[in-house]
Amino acid sequence: MFHRTPSGVSAARRARTLTALSLSALLAGTVGMSTVSAQDAPSGDISFFGWDVADLTSGLGLGFQTAAMSFTAQNPGVNVTFDAVPFADFVSAATSRARAGTLGDVVEMLPGLNHAPVFAALEATTPADWGDLATELSGWGGGVIDPADPNTVAGVPIGGQGVIWYYNKALFEQAGLDPEAAPGTWAEFTAAADALKAAGITPVAASGVDSFLAWWAWSSFSPQYFTADEVLQVRSGEIPLDDPRVLASLQPVADMFAAGYWNSDYADKSFTDMESAFINGQVAMIPGVITSIVNWKAWDGSALGPEGYGVFGAPKRDDATSDGQFFNPTLIYGVNAASENPETAKAFIRFLAGVEGQSILLAQSGQFPNRADVDLATYASPGAQAIQGVIDSRGASDVIQNQFSAAAQGEAFQKLTQAIVSGDLATFLGDLQAQQGS
Amino acid sequence: MLFVAPLVVLLLIFVYAPIGRLVYYAFTTYDGLKPPQWVGLDNFAFLASWPDFRRAIGNTVVLTLGVIVWVGLPFLLAVIIHGRRSANLVRAILFLPALLPALIVGRAFRLVLAEQGPINEALRGLGLDLLAQPWLASETWVLPTIITVIAWATMGTGVLLYSAGLASLSSDYVEAALVDGARWRQLVWHIYRPALGPVTRFWLLLLTIGTVTSFFPWILGLTQGGPGTASVTLDYQVYRSGVQTSRLGLASAIALVGVLVVAVLLVVQLVMRRVRGSDEW
C-alpha cells in the first residue's frame, strides 16, 4: 500500500518491460483478451492518480504499468499516464487537485474511511453500475461512502489484503524448533518466542518510527474479538474504541513487548528497516500484509527465497471469543466526477478488476485477487498458497483491518508504539476514541 | 500614496487575504473539498481539552528555552575568534551547516543519534556505556537533543551576525578597557555584550519566532513528533491535523494560535524598544 523508494535501473527496467510484455501476451492467450467492439472502444487520454505509482519498476507500480501497457495494446486509442503523490500527503494533494480541476481520471484510495475527504470529488456509484463485477468481486463494503447507505460506493474494490505473520524457518531450526510447525495458539507462540530468545535470536519485529508493524500485529488479533459486523459497528461509532474488546485485541501486542520479544532498537526502526532485517535473518517473526509490502513477494525475491519462510494467522488467545482472518480489498479505484473521459477511466478500472488485470497484478506485484476465478497456483509461490490456506481455514472477514477514521488512525500511528511501551493502553484508546468522534 | 498602491494590493492579496481565510477556517470544519461549515468556537474548545495540543504547546515552550544556547554559543564563539588570523576560515566552516536543508540535516542526525548509531557506538567503544542514550527515542532526551542539533545547525548564522556586529565596533572601547586593566571576562560582559545588544535582540526574536513557525522540517526529519507526541510542536501539529488527517479547520485554529503567539512576541519586542527609547533592535 505504500510506495517503495525508486530504484530504477535502465537495464532492469528494460528487462522488466520485456517480461511484462511477454506476460501480457501470455495472459491474452490464456485468459482471453477483453476486447470490445469498435463502436464502444475506449479512447483518449486518462491519468491514474495515486501513491503506488511513484516507482513503475517494482511493487504495485510495476503491476499497474504492465496492466496499462496491456490495456493500451488492446485499445490503441487510449493513453494511460500515472500521476504519483507521496502517501502521507495523499488526501491534501487529492483535495487540492480536485479544487484546481487537475485530479486524475482514475483515483486510488485506501478502503474504509482513511481517504474519506476525497469521496466528494468522485463519481458516486453502486456495484450494479459495474455489471458482472458486482458479483465477481468481493469487498465492495470497503468503498462505502456512508455506513447508512451501504449500496453507494466511492469506487471499485480491486485486490485482496489482510494481515498475516511470517516466520524465518532457518531461525526456527536454529532455536531447536520445528521449522514446519507454525505457532497456532498463544501458548505455542510464546514458547517459540522464548526458545528464539534463549538462542539469542530476536523473536518479533517492531518499528517505532512508524508503528506500522505494531498496527498490523494489532489488526491480526482483532478478528479474535470482533466479527466482521462488529468491526463495521466500530466504524459507524456503535462500538467505541475504548470498548474492552478493543483493549483485549491490543493486549497481545503489548504482551510481546513486555516479554522482551521486540528488537531492542525498535524505536529507531521503520517497517522497511525491519523488512530488510527479516530478509537478512536478524529477526524471526514479522507481522506483515499479504499484498504489496512486507509480504511473501518481498521474501520470494530476496535472499530468503520462496522456501525460506512460513506463514501463520495470529496465534489464538485464551480469551478469544471469535476467530478469523481479515481479508478485504487492497484498494478502491474511483472515477473523478470532473473527468473529461469517464468512460475510458471506467474501462481501465474494469480491466484492472477483471481476470486479466488481477492476474497481471498478482504476477507482477504479488497482489492477491479479490475474485475467485484468478488462479493463485499459476502465478504465486508456496508462501502465497500458505496464506490462502490460512484464509480458507480461518474464514475471511470481508472488512479492512481495524476500522478507524483518518484522524483516529493518524493518532494511532503517532502514539501506538509509545502507548505499548508505557503500558498505558487505556489512555491511548481513550485518546483514539476522542479522535474517532471528532 | 499612488506609489505604494501596487505593494499594498500585493500585500492584501498574498499576505492578508490568506491570513483572513485562515482566521475564517479556524471557526469551521473543513476537509478541503466540501464547503466549510461554521462551528463557532468548537475548534478552540476542542483544542483546550485536547492533551496533544497541550503537549505541543509545552514542547514548543521547552524548545524555545533553547534560545539561551542558540544565542549564547555563537556570541561566545564570535568573540573568541574576533580579530584572529583564521577567523574567516572558522566562520566559513561554522556557516556550512546553515547551507543544508533542515530536513536533510534532521535525517542525517537521525542516523547518527540512533540507538546503534555512531555516537552511541563510539561511547560504548570508549567504555562509556552509561552515557549511550536513546537520544531521539526517549521522552527525557528528545527535546534536549533537538535543541543541541539546532544549536549545531544555526551556530554559523549566529556567528556571522555577531561577527558583523563586532566589525562595526570601534577598537577604541576595547583598547581603553585594556588600558584600564580589564580582563577578558570583563571585556565580554561590559564591552562586547552591550555593544552587540541589538544583534542579540534581533537574533533572539528571529529564533523565538522560528520555534513557533519554522520547526516543522526539523521535527519531520528528526523525530516525526515522536516518541509518541514527545516532540510534536505547534507547527508540526498543524501538519498532522491539516495535511495528514485533512482537518483543515482544526489545523487553522492551531495555526491561528501560533500567529497570536508570534504577534504577542512582536508586541513585547516593540514595547521593550519603546521602554529603551531606542529605534535599535
Chain A residue with minimum CA distance to B247:
A407
Give me the total of CB pairs closer than 8 Å, taking one residue from chain A and one from chain B.
Answer: 91
Q: Which of residues A129 and A2 earns the better pLDDT score?
A: A129
What are the residue ranges in chain B where pLDDT is below 50?
A: none
- Residues B29-55 have pLDDT tens digits of 998 888 899 999 999 999 999 988 999
Report d(CA A139, CA A122) in Å as an integer: 19
| Min distance A268 CA to chain B CA atoms (Å) | 6
Per CB-CB distance under 8 Å, the chain A contacts of B243 are 88-89, 91-92
Taking CB atoms and an 8 Å limit, are A268 and B116 in contact across chains?
Answer: yes
Closest-CA residue to B110 (of B64, B146, B59): B146
* B243·A117 Cβ contact <8 A: no
C-alpha–C-alpha distance, residues A276 and A302, integer Å: 9
pLDDT value of position A401: 57
The whole-number pLDDT of residue B116 equals 85
Question: Is there a common fold for A10-161+330-372 and A163-326+387-436?
Answer: yes
Q: Which residues of B touch A (CB under 8 A)?
A: 31-34, 46, 50-52, 110, 114-117, 134, 136-137, 139, 224-230, 232, 240, 242-247, 250
Percent of chain A with pLDDT over 70: 89
| pLDDT over 50 (residue A433) | yes
- Hey, which CATH number is domain B50-246, 1.10.3720.10, 3.90.1150.10, 3.20.20.140, 3.40.109.10? 1.10.3720.10
Question: What is the per-residue pLDDT for B265?
Answer: 83
For chain A, the structural domain boundaries read: 10-161+330-372, 163-326+387-436
What CATH number does domain A163-326+387-436 carry, 3.30.1360.200, 3.30.230.10, 3.40.710.10, 3.40.190.10?
A: 3.40.190.10
A239 to chain B, any CB pair closer than 8 A? The answer is no
> Which pLDDT tens digit goes with each residue over A166-208?
999 999 999 999 999 999 999 999 999 999 999 999 999 999 9
Higher pLDDT, A111 or A177: A177
pLDDT reported for residue B14: 92
**CATH superfamily label, A10-161+330-372:** Periplasmic binding protein-like II (3.40.190.10)
| Cross-chain residue pair A99–B115, CB shorter than 8 Å | no
Distances (CA, A) of A273 to A69, A269, A383: 32, 6, 21
- Residue B181, exposed/middle/buried by CB under 10 A (0-12, 13-18, 19+)? exposed
C-alpha cell at B208: 523565538
- Half-sphere exposure of residue A182, counting CA atoms within 13 Å on the CB side? 21
**Dist CA B183 CA B75 (whole Å):** 18
- The rounded distance, in Å, linking the Cα atoms of A61 and A184 is 34
Cell numbers of A212, please? 506500522
Per-residue confidence (pLDDT) for residue A338, from 0 to 100: 95
Inter-chain residue contact B228 with A419, CB threshold 8 Å: yes
- Cβ pair B32:A96 closer than 8 A: yes
Tell me the three-class secondary structure of B89-149, residue by residue.
HHHHHHHHHHHCCHHHHHHHHHHHCCCCCHHHHHHHHCCCHHHCCCCCCCCCCHHHHHHHH
Contact B46 A438 (CB under 8 A): yes
pLDDT at residue A270 above 50?
yes
Average pLDDT over residues A264-276: 92
Most confidently modeled of A41-45, A169-173, A319-323, B190-194? A169-173
Which is it for strands A202-204 and A283-289: parallel, antiparallel or unpaired? parallel
